[in-house]
Amino acid sequence: MKWIREIWQSIVRRDPLSTDKGKSELVFLNVWLHIHPAKVKKENLRFKYSFYLGFITFFLFLILLTTGIALMCYYRPYPPAAYQDMKDLQFAVFMGSFLRNMHRWAAHAMVVCVFLHMCRVFYTGSYKKPRQFNWVVGVMLLLLTLGLSFTGYLLPWDQLAYWAITVGTNIGSYAPLVGGQLRELLLGGHTVGEAALLRFYVLHVAVLPSLVILLTIVHFWRVRKDGGLSRPIWKLKPQKTEALVTIGAPAAVAPLQVTAASKDKTYGLMEVVTGKPIFETMTPEEEEDTVFSYPYAFVREAVALMATVTTIMAISLFFNAPLEEMANPAVTPNPAKAPWYFLGLQELVSHSALLGGVVLPAMMVIALLAIPYIDRNPSRRPRERKWAIWLFTFFVVANIILIIVGTFFRGPGWTWVPPWVHVVARPE
């Protein structure tokens, strides 16, 4: 028995979890957990503040990694084997269709959650100083998530995949000057074919996931270094009005300004370097309001993880990921639709390819990236940032309406067909 305890001690090397010292050591002696602080603000654990959307997004990504690696064991990235392997996964491989379903539904859910997480961060004003750069990292993660979905969409090599990618990459070729070359670089040819499938596969299973992992590490690190999650809005203190202390200076010289002594307990190296903390700090009163990460934060994260996995599993039991006929370059399905999260884009593109497919999306991305630097209003209170909230809400709602129109109100030939009208195909 003693040697078992010795081995265990050699692994964990901490005091028992019944002690405060043990609880702290659990966090900072463990490479996986030490991204957490030893203690967290109680208010930040509240579900109604973050809805744990960032965590859920991350857990969905973990599901995608594990199921994706499993699927790779059966998938050959060239036509027509790619399509046959999908059929095999559906009908011949033990649990193949379940794993494929999980991968597909988790991918959809991740797009939804990353978007909702962004909205949460926006509405709570959490992109403001000192968190500006983490917002930028977040936008890049959003784009990478969309890129992963787009590249994954081609892999089943069915009609849906083939035409969505044909239309999608042609949108890119409208970009001025480089558009055409960019498309050829992505496809490795003039049309969507063997070379394109291989390139999309490489992007989907190697390049983009690696970038997501790298940026997620930066993202989490910055959440921590920016002082943990932002304070819930209902906990914001009244604006600081501390008078500056003036040391009896000669009248002719401008008064010497001395910053009020920091009451902050934690001193980072940055403070030694810059003199002032660059991250959000806690006052002693707030310090009272903290709890140990173990068990309070970890239990909640574990619950979020289990809820995410169970939900995706349950959906995958009852709903099968679609698979249409094998890709056929000669026959375009009518209507040919992109994945739902790109249908807003497709709707815009149906009016003008250059404006709707290139100019407007590019401007949206630049605006998203620049939000923390454009919005210089320091207040995080909704009442004091009405303009920002209205503007952001306008774009969110516009996007959702366009997606709904593209999904439900567009029929053959992209004509206006409400979902309650049944159309009979026109004879050719």
Partner 1 sequence: MAALCSAVGVSLGAVVRFLVPSVFYGPPQSFKIGNPGDFPYGPPTFLADEKIFVFRDRERGFAVASAVCTHLGCTVAYFQNDRDFHCPCHGSVFSPTGAVLYGPAPRPLNWFEITLTRDGQLRVDKDKTVPPTYRLMV
Instruction: Name the site residues for ligand HEM (rule: CB under 6 A).
Output: 50, 52-55, 57-58, 61, 114, 117-118, 121, 124, 126-127, 131, 134-135, 138-139, 141-142, 145, 212, 216, 219, 223, 229-230
Residue 351 contact among partner 1, ligand HEM, none, beta carbon within 5 to 8 Å by kind: partner 1
Residue 134 contact among ligand HEM, partner 1, none, beta carbon within 5 to 8 Å by kind: ligand HEM
At CA 349, angle to CA 149 and CA 170, rounded to 5?
60
Residue 293 contact among ligand HEM, partner 1, none, beta carbon within 5 to 8 Å by kind: none
Residue 353 contact among ligand HEM, partner 1, none, beta carbon within 5 to 8 Å by kind: partner 1
DSSP assignment of 283-315: -HHHHHTEEEHHHHHHHHHHHHHHHHHHHHHHH
At CA 313, angle to CA 312 and CA 317, rounded to 5?
115
Q: What share of the chain is helix, strand, coil (3-state, %, to 5)?
A: 60, 5, 35
Query: How far apart, in whole angstroms, are the C-alpha atoms of residue 322 and residue 81?
Result: 18
Q: Which of 316, 250, 392 is nearest to 106 (CA)?
A: 316
DSSP state of 383: G
Per CB under 8 A, 268 contacts partner 1: no
For partner 1, which is the closer residue by CB, 35 or 355?
355
Q: Which of 16, 255, 295, 413 binds partner 1 (CB under 8 A)?
A: 413
DSSP state of 358: I
Residue 346 contact among ligand HEM, partner 1, none, beta carbon within 5 to 8 Å by kind: partner 1
For partner 1, which is the closer residue by CB, 174 or 294?
174
Query: How far apart, in whole angstroms, are the C-alpha atoms of residue 398 and residue 392?
Result: 10
Per CB under 8 A, 409 contacts partner 1: no
SS3 (DSSP) at 377:
coil
Residue 117 contact among ligand HEM, partner 1, none, beta carbon within 5 to 8 Å by kind: ligand HEM
Q: Which of 132, 170, 399, 407 binds partner 1 (CB under 8 A)?
A: 170
Q: Is 310 exposed, middle or buried (0-12, 13-18, 19+ CB in 10 A)?
A: exposed
For partner 1, which is the closer residue by CB, 376 or 426?
426
Report whether 10 contacts 276 (CB < 8 A): no
**What residue ranges bind partner 1 (CB under 8 A)?**
163, 166-167, 170-171, 184-185, 188-191, 193-195, 328-336, 346, 349-353, 412-415, 426-428
